[in-house]
Amino acid sequence: MPPRRQSTPRSPEHAALGEAVRRLRVDNDLAQEELADHMDTDFSQIGGIERGTRNPSYATLVRLATALGTRPGVIASLADEVFDEGGNGTQSARSD
C-alpha cells in the first residue's frame, strides 16, 4: 500500500502559495500533469505544492513561473493576496 499523502498544509502561507499556483494553473488551462511536463517534474510535486504540503525551493518557483508564463514575484504577490483574503482555509492573522 502506498504511503498516505499529507493533506494538512505546512502553514497558512504554504496553503496560500498553493492556492496561488492552482489559480494560475487553471487560468492557463493546464492540468497538474501538463504543468509538471512543462517543468520536467512529476505531477505529484505539483499536487503537493497546491495542497501546501510541500516547501518548494526558489529554483522550483522559478520553474513554476516559467511554465506558467509569469515571474516568481507574480506568484508570491498572488499568494499574499490569497493569504490576506483568507482564501487558504485559515483566518489571516498576519500583520505587515
DSSP string, the chain: -PPPPP-S-SSHHHHHHHHHHHHHHHHTT--HHHHHHHHTS-HHHHHHHHHT-S---HHHHHHHHHHHTS-HHHHHHHHHHHHHHTTTSS------
pLDDT digits (tens, 9 = 90+) for 20-67: 999 999 999 999 999 999 999 999 999 999 999 999 999 999 999 999
pLDDT, the chain, mean: 88
Considering the entire predicted model, what is its pTM? 0.83
What CATH number has the domain spanning 12-85? 1.10.260.40
